[in-house]
A and B are shown apart, each in its own frame.
Chain A
Amino acid sequence: AQTVTQSQPEMSVQEAETVTLSCTYDTSESNYYLFWYKQPPSRQMILVIRQEAYKQQNATENRFSVNFQKAAKSFSLKISDSQLGDTAMYFCAFIQKGGGADGLTFGKGTHLIIQP
């Protein structure tokens, strides 16, 4: 079974700083997708960024980028020029591309607080 581990329950940084959230996963699959979701206090789950395992190039979406290390099974999220609106729970998620349950496996999340 796949597992996703987020080792930082909470992080706090000053506005405009850069912050990196860590995520590791365990799978025997070679083809899969990885995602970062953001859950602000409103509780809505918002897709931030995704990475396909067969692509070596790290995904980037504006201020959000990932460092995907497939051999190490690591998928960290970097937020540049952090803003107050980035305060939220961030969840790393995995889905395998092959057979099996068609659902996301989530980590337990990291609570990111951006201080003014």
Chain B
Amino acid sequence: SQTIHQWPATLVQPVGSPLSLECTVEGTSNPNLYWYRQAAGRGLQLLFYSVGIGQISSEVPQNLSASRPQDRQFILSSKKLLLSDSGFYLCAWSVESRQPQHFGDGTRLSIL
């Protein structure tokens, strides 16, 4: 069966520090991968999605970037974190486009 792993579960970072959140999927090949952010009391907002290695699409202008160095690995990064980057970040995968997405456990990021 397929599983998705996301880490760390929680992270506290100072403003201006770098960020790296990692997500890996097991049990499937060439999945579509997604990064979402959930602000407090809000639904999820799509940040990035990827349909293959090295292929990244960005949905909103922001301070973050994403990379997909391997088929089942998706990384969310920032060179300098802002206070507004605080939130709950969720990684998700699907077998192909427009299909149900399955989510990881999320990372709670707090910026001080």
Chain A interface (Cβ < 8 Å from any Cβ of B): 4, 33, 35, 37, 42-47, 50, 91, 93, 95-97, 101-109
B57 at the interface (CB under 8 A from A): yes
Q: Which chain A residue lies CB-closest to B99? A: A33
Q: Is the CB of A101 within 8 A of B42?
A: no
Q: How far, in angstroms, from A2 to B95 measured CA to CA in the complex?
A: 23
Size bin of chain B's contact surface:
20 to 34
Smallest CB separation, A15 vs chain B (Å): 26
Residues of B within 8 A of A37 (CB): 103
A101 and B59 alpha carbons, distance in the complex (Å): 7
CB contacts between A and B, total, < 8 Å: 60
Known: A101-B57, A102-B32. A91 touches B44 (CB 8 A): yes
Q: How close is A87's CB to chain B, nearest CB, in angstroms?
A: 17
Is B51 an interface residue when CB atoms closer than 8 A count as contact?
yes
Cβ-defined contact, B44 with A106, below 8 A: yes
Q: B residues near A, CB below 8 A?
A: 32, 34, 36, 41-46, 49, 51, 57, 59, 88, 90, 92, 97-98, 100-106, 108
| Neighbouring B residues of A104 by C-beta, 8 Å | 36, 44, 46, 101
Chain A: which residue is nearest B107 at the CB level? A43
Q: Is the CB–CB distance between B49 and A107 below 8 Å?
A: no
Determine if B43 and A106 form an interchain contact, defined as CB atoms under 8 angstroms apart: yes
A108-B43 in contact (CB<8A): yes
Chain A residues whose C-beta falls within 8 Å of the C-beta of B98 in the assembled complex: 33, 95-97, 102
Contacts of A44 in B (CB 8 A): 103-106
Cα A97 to Cα B36 with chains together (Å)? 19
B57 touches A43 (CB 8 A): no
CB-CB nearest 5 A-B residue pairs: A103-B46, A106-B43, A45-B103, A102-B97, A106-B44
